[in-house]
Structure 1
């Protein structure tokens, strides 16, 4: 198997195994402080990264004191990194600005489109400034494979980009900075390039001159001999000036695999050139600028070059000194230990001055695979060097020039170095600053996400200054997938975010701030942590319904967290004793005092997916399973436990798939606890019972009022619009009072997809499936109902002003006292390129009841 960006050429047989053998794995944070937007006064709002978004109502122009809770991780300063991104495959550095390529990143959800990140230094600290994307980004463009920077201009290679004649023609993008903003200025394409040239494999930049390598170009019809294309900028316009090739070009030489530019000279590596009969011994070529045109000056080869040394795999130049890597050199230290050669120019003539080896080199270190040079300092990478951190951890060797000698000064490794990080894969040096990457480093974003370590030389020693990464990405995290508010505390989950997270927010006066992020001590990938939530006082329940336990897939578990003096800790992990695979316990939760209800609506007992609800009680700090609620209407696919509610000794259980009038419209049951055990009291059905209405899919209980949703209830003409039914408790139990419908109901609305009830106010979500609703409804809606003398009436219809189709605005809602929340868990990020990040919209009761909200 070859690396996906390498052409299937026989001369790459060895490189595929050695250099890219570590890269064949398949493609596959911290939280931000919350602060109000400048210049805007809001009552009760969340914000992150300085953003605010207003809700708009159909009945008034806007809410005057609303806000938006952004995913706390959805911040370009915090990141969008993902596993296998390989952040740090390329680096460039110019004083206080650095650019880092991550060519495998799924930019805007496009696999392999790539991204490059810009970091700037202020007050001695490095901060992420922005991320750059190609305007024509497509699958496997590999934007960010190579990067270069000069002042306020950045050059980024995209060698996989398709051209007029097919794929992998390649190109390079130019970005320029104005103030703190970067803008795409041009896309550089070589007029003489063709499919499979890989233009942009390497790039170099100096002022208004850009040099772009295409190691697989065919000069003079010599296959894969390689080209280097020269571009110049005049008055902001870029034009191709010339294309360079080796004067003795041979098939498969790979001229342009590496490039370095300094002053009027450019050195170009051709690591697969055969030299004096030695296969892939490698060579490097020097061209110099004479009156605006580059001409050939010299060919550099190693005095002791041998087969497969690949001299020229990396090159660096500073004034009259060139440094050439030969990472495949079999030295006295072992096979493929690697070396680097120093060449000096005197009166226009280049000569080998020195061969450099690592002081502690070993076989397969690949010393010389990366190089950086500035003034009297040279840095040489050995990305497969074995260290005390483990095999293939990698090291960077610093050499200093003094007294006409290059001497090893020190070896650099990150403080958190680990096996297989491949540190020093890429290097960049500017003055006393060194950046070195570990593209295989595992980060908070996942395995092989990649990092870059910044080092600073203070005149006597090098010290580690910063560890840069793309941060923890939030693609697919679905912030707002579930949520609950009780008093001044809100829980909001991002249940699809790796192991899942639950964010705790607390209110102080009119301001909200994040208090904690909850994760199960043993939660793992894809266990759905945060799929359902329950909160009462200082106790929270968080479900992980897809967790595998004892080799039983999707058996499910529930985590109990308690708060003491503002600190949340895990108190217990609850699991049902006789649960089986795919029961999905934790699909719904309820909590009241020391009693919890845990539903597994897919649990199988006598019937497949009949569902089950289990009661747990707490004594002191210990939880124990107490009983299973008896399912009075047990049947296949009945989904007993589709929703649950609990208040003291009263429990409500939805069974949205159970048969009513032989049409599976759904039922809901009430239970009462007497002498320590729950017994069934009533079964409720909707007054209109259409086929598969799913009555009982959602419940909301507040005081003596119960809301039961049937989001697939049909209207008189057979349209699936959804309905919510209001029941009121009296001495004889619950009795039906009214049916709530959206005033503007349309087919496929799924009105009642979410419910929240607090006193005399209710929020009801309506989220048409993508492609089933009208464009104005597909982002989702939420309805406010308020109770008056004649019962509940629609008070407002809410849409997000920044809503887009598929956001699922209204898929979740929460309400407590003066605060309401509406989730849009499928909303794409408005600040990064991540999809399905999610957001939660916040509104306060005074606004809901202000003029214009009493009714249409």
Structure 2
């Protein structure tokens, strides 16, 4: 477990060793040395920034409590709202801003072992337990890196990049491999929606990788639609859960005409060969040309949610499907179409979707917040006991920024992460930010802001978010490294919540 402290405060600790908590409460200490590994000149390991043994603002008395200046005891962790909040008040390794909101920076940063210009490492991220997969495939300057990277956490809690880079078998080269990724257990799925095969340009494909007993990952299957067509964009979104893979194909003609979109569902054949076969094509009865159904997708247990952000002049919508029998998927009988209660044209509702149990999160990154254009919003929906689905909340950032595109989402139990990759920390900077919302008494509220420690213009921190257990990943595909533009990076927050 690592906690971040501002370097300036660590310096004060060295200069003022005589200061201490009045009750002599033991304080954790750390050498503050860089414990990360280096690969080709890039820091690919975890970074430990150290802890102080002095009771100045921000000193830790215990991993779960904080010691504030002028107090003789250690207070419960969190922002002390009963006293004036200061910029150096600790909140689980971060600080409090003037309003009492927790603000925290990363505990580590990852980069690709073979990083190159325009890779956009971190364009998509996924994590499950001790394994994470990072996509590299954003079409910056029309260049696709066509790769994905796996990181593994050892028994000591340290993360490292697994030897070997995931790449597609020949036909998908240059097809945007890595722009969508997901992982469950020992299975990784990676979309390449620009792949062409036979005479179908940009039909798309999805690649399945499995982890062997020796710990290496190898491609085991390439999935394509049973009816591939040009411009289908199969693989624009992918999700895996409970032995099923959902694949969005937002350019598919569906049952109406061009770009209505649909979702394909693949199921483990149950023969012990770990082979997936197509079992369903999910369409909607009220679909129209240009809806883009399948632009986003998620799966949980026997339910699939899919976004259609271009529906109704980009006002957007989303649909919920259920598995009623093995191999049989249909629109939710109680009504599958979901819309924002205050939706407006060009909001892009459905650009990102997330599903966990009875709770759904759907983002509209181009929604206005008051007079703030394209600030973004996230809508929470709940499935009721009668199987109807109702909107319960509209979430926005506490500090909405114009063009922030608040909307990349990850939903895990009572925690919701939201990225705003074009948030301006200074004018027109697009440095980005992420937010953690926590649910209590049935409602989500903003709990803390997540920043990069040393942000730079164009980072796009928050373009992708993921979480598992106490670990959160924030993708920043616009990070410049080694004098190269848009190399990209992923930032780790651990622990992400109390």
TM, length-normalised to structure 2: 0.73
Tell me what 1:272 maps to. Answer: 310
Q: 1:36-57 deviations in whole A, cap 9, x for unaligned? A: xxxxxxxxxxxxxxxxxxxxxx
| 1:718-729 matched pairs, under 5 angstroms | none
In structure 2, the partner of 1:303 is: 341
Report the Cα distance in structure 1 between the residues aligned to 2:222 and 2:173, rounded to whole angstroms: 17
Aligned to 2:186: 152
Higher relative contact order structure (alpha carbons within 8 Å, sequence separation ≥ 6):
2
Residues 119 and 128, structure 1, Cα contact 8 Å, conserved in 2: yes
Q: CA deviation at 1:104?
A: 5.4
Matching residue of 1:448: 486
Q: Which residue is 2:114 aligned to?
A: 80
1:259 to 288, 297, 306: 297
Deviation digits for residues 84-131 of structure 1, max 9, x if unmatched?
11111111110110001111599xxx9636000000111111100031
| Corresponding residue for residue 399 of structure 2 | 360
1:694-843 alignment runs, 5 A limit: none
CA RMSD of aligned residues (A): 2.1
> Take 2:497 and 2:366, find their aligned partners in 1: how far apart are those partners?
33
Query: 2:352 matched to which residue of 1?
Result: 314
Whether the 8 Å CA contact 2:472–2:496 is kept in 1: the answer is no
Shift in CA distance, 196/150, structure 1 to aligned 2, threshold 3 Å:
same
Are 1:127 and 2:160 an aligned pair? yes
Return closer, same or farther for 1:87/1:458 CA change in 2, 3 Å cut-off.
closer
Q: The residue matched to 1:217 in structure 2 has which SS? A: coil
Which residue number corresponds to residue 208 of structure 1? 243
| Residue 418 of structure 1, CA deviation | 1.1
- Tell me by how many angstroms 1:457 deviates: 2.5
Inter-partner Cα distance in structure 2 for 1:217 and 1:452: 32
Maintained 8 Å contact 2:306/2:319: yes
**Matches of 1:126 and 1:228 in 2, distance apart?**
34
- The correspondence for 2:363, drawn from 312, 321, 325, is 325
State the distance in 2 between where 1:458 and 1:228 align.
32
Structure 1 match to 2:27: none
Higher strand share: 1
Which of 115, 124, 132 aligns to 2:147? It is 115
Q: Check whether the contact 2:409–2:417 (CA below 8 A) recurs between aligned residues.
A: yes
> d(CA) in 1 for partners of 2:392 and 2:139?
41
Larger radius of gyration: 1
Q: Secondary structure at the match of 2:343?
A: coil
Cα distance per residue 1:748-791 (max 9 Å; x no partner): xxxxxxxxxxxxxxxxxxxxxxxxxxxxxxxxxxxxxxxxxxxx
Instruction: Measure, in 1, the Cα distance between the counterparts of 2:218 and 2:370.
Output: 50
Aligned in 2, Cα 1:436/1:296: closer, same or farther, shift over 3 Å? same
Deviations 1:506-546 (A, max 9, x none): xxxxxxxxxxxxxxxxxxxxxxxxxxxxxxxxxxxxxxxxx
Decide which of 388, 394, 397 is 2:435's aligned counterpart: 397
For 2:252 and 2:413, the matched residues in 1 are separated by 33
Partner of 1:716: none
Q: The residue matched to 1:410 in structure 2 has which SS? A: strand
Could you list the structure 1 runs, at least 4 aligned residues long, displaced by more than 6 angstroms after superposition. Answer: none
Paired residues of 2:412 and 2:468 also in contact (CA < 8 A): yes
Show CA shifts across 1:356-382 (max 9, x none): 1100002211112x1001010001111
| Map 1:105-254 → 2, pairs under 5 A | 112=144, 114-122=146-154, 123-129=156-162, 130-179=164-213, 180-234=215-269, 235=272, 236-254=274-292
Give, in whole Å, the separation in 2 of the partners of 1:451 and 1:351: 37
State the distance in 2 between where 1:207 and 1:443 align: 38
Aligned to 1:412: 450
Q: Is the 1:156–1:172 Cα contact (8 Å) retained in structure 2?
A: yes
CA deviation after TM superposition for structure 1 residue 387, in Å = 1.2
Give the corresponding residue for 2:127.
93
Instruction: Give the CA deviation at 1:138.
Output: 4.7
Give the Cα separation in 1 of the matches to 2:496 and 2:147: 32
CA distance in 1, matches of 2:309, 2:254: 17
Q: 1:457 to 1:392 in 2, by over 3 A?
A: same
Matches within 5 A, 1:531-680: none
**What secondary structure, in the 3-state scheme, does the structure 1 residue paired with 2:255 have?**
helix
1:12: which partner in 2? none
Partner deviation per Cα, 1:278-309 (whole Å, 9 max, x = no partner): x2110000001112221111111011111111
Shift, 1:237, TM fit: 2.2
The whole-number CA distance in structure 2 between the counterparts of 1:388 and 1:112 is: 30
Q: Secondary structure at the match of 2:448?
A: strand
Residues 103, 143 of structure 1: 8 Å contact kept: yes
Structure 1 residue 208, shift from structure 2 partner: 2.1
CA distance 1:98–1:339, shift in 2 (3 Å): same
Alpha carbons of 1:138 and 1:406: their partners in 2 closer, same or farther (altered >3 Å)? closer
Residues 30 and 174 of structure 1: is their aligned pair in 2 closer, same or farther, counting only changes over 3 Å?
closer
Change (3 A) 1:132 1:85: same
Cα distance in 2, alignment partners of residues 459 and 362 from structure 1:
25
Q: Deviations over 1:582-639 (max 9, x none)?
A: xxxxxxxxxxxxxxxxxxxxxxxxxxxxxxxxxxxxxxxxxxxxxxxxxxxxxxxxxx
Deviations along 1:315-368, whole A, 9 cap, x unmatched? 111101101100111221511111110111112110010111100002211112
Counterparts of 1:426-465 in structure 2 under 5 Å?
426-444=464-482, 446-457=484-495, 459-460=497-498
- Alpha-carbon shift at residue 414 of structure 1 (Å): 1.3
Pairwise CA distance, 1:395: 0.5
Residue of structure 1 equivalent to 2:376: 338
| Separation in 1, partners of 2:260, 2:325 | 27
SS at match of 1:200: strand
**Contact 1:323 1:342 (8 Å CA) reproduced:** yes
- The structural deviation recorded for 1:78 is 7.2
Query: Matches of 2:367 and 2:373 in 1, distance apart?
Result: 7
8 Å CA contact 2:474, 2:492 repeated in 1: yes
Quote the Cα distance in structure 1 between the aligned partners of 2:399 and 2:256.
Answer: 44
Query: Paired residues, what number?
Result: 381
CA–CA distance in 1 between the matches of 2:139 and 2:419?
A: 24
Offset at 1:246? 2.0
